[in-house]
Structure 1
Amino acid sequence: MDKTRVLIIEDESITALEIQKKLETWGYHVVGVAGSGEDAIEIARENKLDLILADIILKGDMDGVEAIEHIYEITDAPVIYLTAHADEKTFERAKETKPAGYVIKPYDEKELAFNMEIALYNRKVKSRVEESEERLKGLNQFMLISSKAMTSSMRIEDTAGFLKEFARFFQSNVHPRFRKELLAENSMRSDEELLEDYLKWLHQFFKNLGYKVDTKDDSLLVNRCFWGTHKGDNKTFCLMCKAITELSFKWTGLPGRVRHDSGVGLNSPTCVFTFGDEEE
């Protein structure tokens, strides 16, 4: 397993060496120790970073805050400031860089270790969220761009080919996220509990795509369609939603099937997807 890569920015050589040894004891990989802002920027350019520990007050023309402002143009690695003192103006500048932590020297080992773990954990969570958002954005764009090319006069074989491609895109972009968010934990859930969790996941998924949805018992109610009033002109739109629900339900491993009712009743939801119905 790769070690976490840390850059130390500290102009007091004894303090820098002490921090380096401590981090290496904890299992971190110190990619470099910079005694000036200029050196720190150079090290950041030459190495991939996971975390930065930076003293605010440095000797020379560039302090730690200015160095971090330049380094943020190179990497998104979080920074924890280590300092014994800083005037109010410098401290306000430091806050504007949105540091992951702030540890007063002489530092407490437990406090430093805790700040580092929290900073790295938050970065990991942020990365996962951004990855999920990017996948969802890709799906959203795929649906929008593709729908413009769809017409009610499309040949059946062309529609089938498109839906097959859509299903493949949905599988590769959403299934990994689905497994992490819904199936990774609580494997001992009953079918009823899993269905309840699945409906919550599906509700949030459609909501993130811009739908207005509700859940009731074992059903998902779509009150506002992604493509609004255009769905009547193009049944392919509805087929994409049907593919999303049927594929994702299949991933749960739950018994039964998905029943789709469109525009049923006066002032009804646009669509109702009911899950777990027995095969006819």
Structure 2
Amino acid sequence: MANDELPSSVVSVDWLLENLDAKEIVILDASWFMPGSGRDAKSEWINERLPGAKFFDFDQEICDRHSHLPHMLPDETQFSRQVSELGISNDKQIVVYDTQGLFSAPRVWWMFKAMGHDAVAVLDGGLPAWKKVNGPLVSGEPEKVQPDTFTARFRTEWVTDAQSLLSKLDDPKTVVLDARPAARFYAQQPEPREGVRSGHMPNAKSLPFGQLVKDNQLLSPQLLKQRFDAISDEDQHLIFSCGSGVTACILALAAEVAGREKLTVYDGSWTEWGAGLKYPVES
């Protein structure tokens, strides 16, 4: 399998079944649950996972541990070291899934994109879709990983911070798309995190991630294109935001599948923007 043979940024369970034994492929379980869910993603991975799947912890491990914000993108040095420790090299094809179907896996897809690795895809439908076709599963303590060498090359265009985003809110070439539920966007429902204001950024548009997903799978490329065409022009720069930078990546993945090219995730998202009074908020 050549280094560019992932069919797209989203692969089907049928495709993965056919390529499950390919030595070039690394499977990552990127499951993550909202705080307070009572679920432990790593324990669930130990109990049930795709064959050979490694656990990618972007919430507590592969993240900027010095930031007060949750699961922020680490720098390229840390990312390189920790991905290498997972036994991943730059010539690997990476397939990411999560136990909810299509929720947190796109976050890890985006992280690899931001770190210069294009050979990465999300398993459409995740673990539920895999189970539906009776795909093989394993359980128990995983085998010890043999480290490899991965070198990250940070791409600034894939990520933005609050100050840079603030300067683009009035730019007609840019549109901010917010993946949170509409009730939170319009301040009809309080934010789940304490001390975070309700509402949205000036000129931002609401695009709840659930509008791009059906039965835990992405809509077709044609339908996704219609969704994005309805709220943005093809040549506009799309910046994605959400509560804490996870579901914004679903929008980024969907936009790429729809054919959009200028894609950026606001990593701090509403957890940063809505805290305090530094940044403008509308309801």
TM-score after normalising by structure 1: 0.24
| TM-score normalised per structure 2 | 0.24
Larger radius of gyration: 1
Higher helix share: 1
